Amino acid sequence: MQLLKDKIITEGKVLNNSILKVDSFLNHQIDPLLMKEMGEEFARRFQNDKVTKILTIEASGIAIAVMTGLVLNVPVVFARKKKSSATTEDTYAAEVYSYTKAEYNNVTVSKRFIAPGDNVLIIDDFLANGEAAFGLANIVRQAGCNIVGIGIVIEKSFQPGGEKLAGAGYRVESLVRIASFENNQVNFA
Amino acid sequence: MQLLKDKIITEGKVLNNSILKVDSFLNHQIDPLLMKEMGEEFARRFQNDKVTKILTIEASGIAIAVMTGLVLNVPVVFARKKKSSATTEDTYAAEVYSYTKAEYNNVTVSKRFIAPGDNVLIIDDFLANGEAAFGLANIVRQAGCNIVGIGIVIEKSFQPGGEKLAGAGYRVESLVRIASFENNQVNFA
């Protein structure tokens, strides 16, 4: 997606060999028009898949997921992240490790909001090791739902998440794929 | 806003005399079309106020803020909530008490994303005691910005937040105001 590539080139900051900072338009400050265009692109890619629900994870996935849900005319559910692993009877839960923050989060979704028969599109901002995506997929499977696919804004294809998800049989649609960072430059795949 | 009132009547759950659960369309599952209509309503109310930036707080404020930002054509910044009060030179911070969760959060915004000259519209999902709104207003003032107003989805007008904010000179625009909960029913103001 060229618009997103341009934004990454002009505003993204390569912090080291694996971290790209995009907090000026994606995960702290948000560019609403870019969110809308990304939502429309995800909706276009999954328009024939009878999506009934979108699942994302707080906080950075919400804006894109809601824009996608607006076009596909389906509700969005955002999974909650908690430090503690207080599980209840009312929620599906999965443990997700964040390499960036070096911590485990317990990710939960109320059982009232995904149910057997749902065709779920998972959306997240980044794909690196695949931890969040596998956690969300785990929750969808616990609920007995079908996973239509996984929509990712920025995939770092030099990290193993994309291959692991494909290997597990999931369809992954990434708006941009980054092959490497070199000399503070982004090389797209 | 009638659409929102209808949604609260049909889907909201009064848990006790002060808590209204709206997680089926606002703060866990999200209704994208409702978010769009609420964003358009906030944009209409603040259309002549030369808003240059919208500030909200993760996670429930993001969807509405982004829809408002889309119409007003301005960036959205979401403040981050952390348990720890690790302040840095790079962020503005304010301590916010959550009565619902009975805990303090340190709310932070990067100094790169609000700057003197900005006309900031603050948006949040609930207004009860005003803690979050005052915290965000505190951050905007630290940044030397003007506060155009505070847009609230659901104000519980039987709690003191609205009056306290008005008393402090802030313009508060609430999409619905709830006067009381009685016998598991919502009485609008």
Outline where DSSP puts E strands in A31-171.
53-57, 76-82, 91-98, 103-110, 119-127, 146-156
**Which tokens hold the place of A45?**
């890619």
* Residue B20, SS3 per DSSP: strand
Contacts (Cβ under 8 Å, ≥6 apart) of B148: B46, B49, B50, B51, B119, B120, B121, B171
Q: What is the mean pLDDT of residues B11-23?
A: 92
Q: What is the 3-state secondary structure (H, E, C) of A127-138?
A: ECCCHHHHHHHH
Return the residue matching tokens 């499977």.
A141
Q: Check pLDDT > 80 for residue B108.
A: yes
**Which tokens hold the place of A4?**
């997103």
What one-character-per-residue DSSP string does B116-169 give? TT-EEEEEEEEESS-HHHHHHHHHHHHTT-EEEEEEEEEEETTSTHHHHHHHTT
Q: Read off the amino acid at residue B119.
A: N
- Judge contact between B177 and B3, C-beta under 8 A: no
Q: Residue A73: its chain B contacts at CB < 8 A?
A: 32-33
Contacts (Cβ under 8 Å, ≥6 apart) of B78: A28, A30, A59, B55, B56, B57, B58, B59, B61, B62, B65
* Residue A184, SS3 per DSSP: coil
pLDDT in tens, chain A (189 residues): 999 999 999 999 998 888 899 999 999 999 999 999 999 999 999 999 999 999 999 999 999 999 999 999 999 999 999 866 666 779 999 999 988 788 899 999 999 999 999 999 999 999 999 999 999 999 999 999 999 999 999 999 999 999 999 999 999 999 999 999 988 899 999
Domains and CATH numbers, chain B: 2-188 (3.40.50.2020)
CA distance B22 to B55: 22
Q: How far is A113 from chain B (nearest CA, A)?
A: 7
Least confident range of A22-36, A82-96, B4-18, B160-174: A82-96
Quick check: pTM over 0.90? yes
Contacts (Cβ under 8 Å, ≥6 apart) of B7: B22, B25, B31, B34
- Judge contact between B179 and B157, C-beta under 8 A: yes
CA distance B136 to B61: 12
CA distance B116 to B111: 10
Return the residue matching tokens 């995009």.
A22
Pick from A145, A88, A78, A87: nearest CA to A114: A145
* Residue A54, SS3 per DSSP: strand
* Residue A24, SS3 per DSSP: coil
**Which tokens hold the place of B78?**
């979401």
In this structure, the strands spanning A146-156 and A119-127 are: parallel
Taking an 8 Å cut-off on Cβ atoms, the answer to whether B24 and A80 are in contact is: no
**Which tokens hold the place of A150?**
């996984």
Q: Residue A78: its chain B contacts at CB < 8 A?
A: 28, 30, 59
Nearest CB neighbour to A29, from listed B35, B63, B113: B113
Residues of A near B (Cβ–Cβ under 8 Å) read: 23-25, 28-33, 35-36, 58-59, 62-63, 65-67, 69-70, 73-78, 80, 83, 109-110, 112-113
Each residue's pLDDT tens digit, B110-127:
999 999 999 999 999 999
Return the residue matching tokens 């390569």.
A14
Nearest CB neighbour to B66, from listed A35, A69, A73: A35
Q: Give the pLDDT score at B87.
A: 61
φ/ψ of B8, rounded to 5, equals -65, -40
Contacts (Cβ under 8 Å, ≥6 apart) of B48: none
Taking an 8 Å cut-off on Cβ atoms, the answer to whether A62 and B30 are in contact is: yes
* Residue B59, SS3 per DSSP: coil
CA distance A67 to A33: 10
Q: Give the pLDDT score at A17.
A: 82
Q: Give the pLDDT score at A150.
A: 98
Q: How far is B132 from chain A (nearest CA, A)?
A: 17
Q: Residue B40: its chain A contacts at CB < 8 A?
A: none
* Residue B97, SS3 per DSSP: strand
φ/ψ of B49, rounded to 5, equals -105, 10
Report the sign of the C-alpha dihedral through residues A114, A76, A63, B6, in that order. Answer: negative
